[in-house]
Amino acid sequence: MSEVIATNQTILVVGGGISGMTAALEAAECGKQVILVEKNPSIGGRVSQLYKYFPKLCFPSCGLEINLRRMKANRNLRLLTLTEVTAVSGAAGNYSVTLKTLPRYVNENCTACGECEKAVETLFDSEYDYGMKPRKGAYLPFNMAYPQRYVLDPRLIGTPDADKAKAACKYDAIDLGMQEKETTLTVGAIIWATGWKPYDADKIQPYGHDRIANVVSSVEFERMLDPFGPTGGKIVRPSDGKEAKNVAFIQCAGSRDRNHLKHCSRICCMATLKQTTYLREKFADDFKASVYYIDIRAIDRLDDFYRKVQADPNVTFIKSKVASITADKATGNPVLHGVDTEGYHRYSNPHDLVVLAIGMEPSVPKGAFPMDIVVNEEGFIEADKANGGIFAAGCSADALDVNRAVQSATASALRAIQVVNRVAGMEG
Ligand SMILES: Cc1cc2nc3c(=O)[nH]c(=O)nc-3n(C[C@H](O)[C@H](O)[C@H](O)COP(=O)(O)OP(=O)(O)OC[C@H]3O[C@@H](n4cnc5c(N)ncnc54)[C@H](O)[C@@H]3O)c2cc1C
Ligand code: SF4
Ligand code: SF4
């Protein structure tokens, strides 16, 4: 890695999801020096793990590709992957930041030929597929990963597989001696865009995500639809691989609940409406989607999308907070138990598959930020003057859809530019 050069007029962006990429690009395209750090081996964030985007139902790869092209064309932007911020001190216009970069064990010579992957045998759960699929110890995080460079899982180092990977590489791209690196930089402003993580569905015990095979979370369901994903793009039951045509969606799974996340995650209603369209796409008229909900929160212009799904005769809305799920031993069907609050009758409804619309929580837990920063009760960063030259973008600020995340990122870029311009004005 060549030396990282930064000054008090540099903007640091933390997190390379859609928000961090947008903020970094907006600032860099305004002529500012930007350093974008991402803790994973590739940028792209959670959006790259979605099958399609609401409301237009286009593929996230399009948006990603446009941003990657803009990034490659911009000399003001420096990307550091496998990197996290461990400490921040100072004030707006003059922050000292410490970065920790983990070894990739693969250098810039990598052509992504994939020979190292073929040579190694050890398998690990794929983080990208939420553990639904294994990946090799030498791997490309996903097809559109950027940088297009392989990575060696640190658990491989010191094993015969690491030597096999090195021997397979014709380009001298594998460096098993790479070490963790610490860098200290001066920057003028910081944009925090570390996004969100899915609420741990296993914690919602009555729904049995940890023990009933045919109960999956909404993010896992997105991965199922990917042709390169764990089921090759098929909607099937994890228990027996049979097509799942009768699917239940449970809203507010772990959200609006004082035992889990108190807040409404705002996106999961829209995500479910979108996911019912996946069933129509795969099975035409031969499917049944049942949405169990407390109330549907489709934000402003997305109302139209809601109306379209409501008009689908194969989609039923059941106003009820599901009390529990059991598994029918003979069929493997998950059976939903509860009371329909519109007719006040009890039900025990079997389905092929259950999708839990889990909530979004901030990626960085409250109290774990490497600097003093004002966050709200849920752990999202507040727009507070006390945060000085540190601004939140996208889902670091709130549970947002992509459209709003991008707007928030653009606003943060503008605020950060104002900070570094003030510094330039004072020094000039
Ligand atoms: C089931 C589901 C379906 C959805 N479908 C849609 C949809 O169809 N349309 C839509 O508009 N929105 C959808 N969303 C919402 C969408 O996923 C978010 O709007 C989007 O991910 C926000 O992007 P972000 O960059 O703010 O966060 P993220 O996508 O979470 O990106 C954050 C990035 O920061 C990195 N990072 C995390 N911690 C650190 C750290 N400490 N240091 C450095 N880097 C770090 C992460 O690795 C990641 O790359 C959906 C959400 C869910 C739950
Ligand atoms: S590390 Fe070497 S063998 Fe592996 S993909 Fe890169 S160039 Fe190919
Ligand atoms: S967006 Fe819908 S499913 Fe998600 S927490 Fe809010 S009401 Fe519940």
Tell me the average pLDDT across 21-50: 98
- Which residue's CA is the nearest one to ligand 2's atom 4? 116
Centre a 10 Å sphere on the Cβ of residue 381 and count the other Cβ atoms it contains. 23
Q: Which atom of ligand 1 is nearest to the CA of 196?
A: 30
Q: Three-state SS for 260? A: coil
- Which residue's CA is the nearest one to ligand 2's atom 8? 113
pLDDT for the residue numbered 140:
98
Strands 181-187 and 360-362: unpaired
Beta strands in 138-188 (DSSP E): 138-139, 151-152, 181-187
Answer positive or negative: Cα dihedral of 289, 294, 298, 303: positive
Do 283 and 233 form a contact (C-beta atoms < 8 A)?
no
Residue 324 pLDDT > 90: yes
Residue 346 pLDDT > 70: yes
Tell me the average pLDDT across 329-337: 97
Do 158 and 165 form a contact (C-beta atoms < 8 A)?
no
Ligand 3 center to 142 CA (angstroms) = 29
Do 325 and 212 form a contact (C-beta atoms < 8 A)?
yes
Whole-number Cα distances in Å, 188 to 92, 139, 249: 6, 36, 46
pTM above 0.95, yes or no: yes
Q: Which atom of ligand 2 is nearest to the CA of 112?
A: 5
Ligand nearest to the CA of 302: 1
Residue 116 token pair: 């190292």
pLDDT for the residue numbered 366:
85
pLDDT for the residue numbered 1:
66
Beta bridge partners of 187: 95
Ligand 2 center to 402 CA (angstroms) = 33
Whole-number Cα distances in Å, 421 to 2, 8, 416: 27, 10, 9
Q: Say which amino acid occupies 90.
A: G
pLDDT for the residue numbered 305:
86
pLDDT range class, residue 301, cuts 50, 70, 90: low
Residue 29 is given by DSSP the state H
Q: Say which amino acid occupies 403.
A: N
* Residue spans of alpha helices (H) in 14-148: 18-29, 60-72, 115-119
Do 195 and 395 form a contact (C-beta atoms < 8 A)?
yes
Residue 73 token pair: 């064309």
Q: How far apart are CA 122 and CA 158, in angstroms?
A: 13
Whole-number Cα distances in Å, 182 to 51, 54, 79, 84: 36, 40, 16, 10
Residue 2 is given by DSSP the state P
pLDDT for the residue numbered 283:
98
CA atoms within 13 A on the CB side of 58: 8
pLDDT for the residue numbered 225:
98
Determine the residue of 249, 363, 381 to mutate for testing ligand 1's pocket, defined as the one with the most ligand atoms within 8 A of the Cβ atom: 363
pLDDT for the residue numbered 328:
97
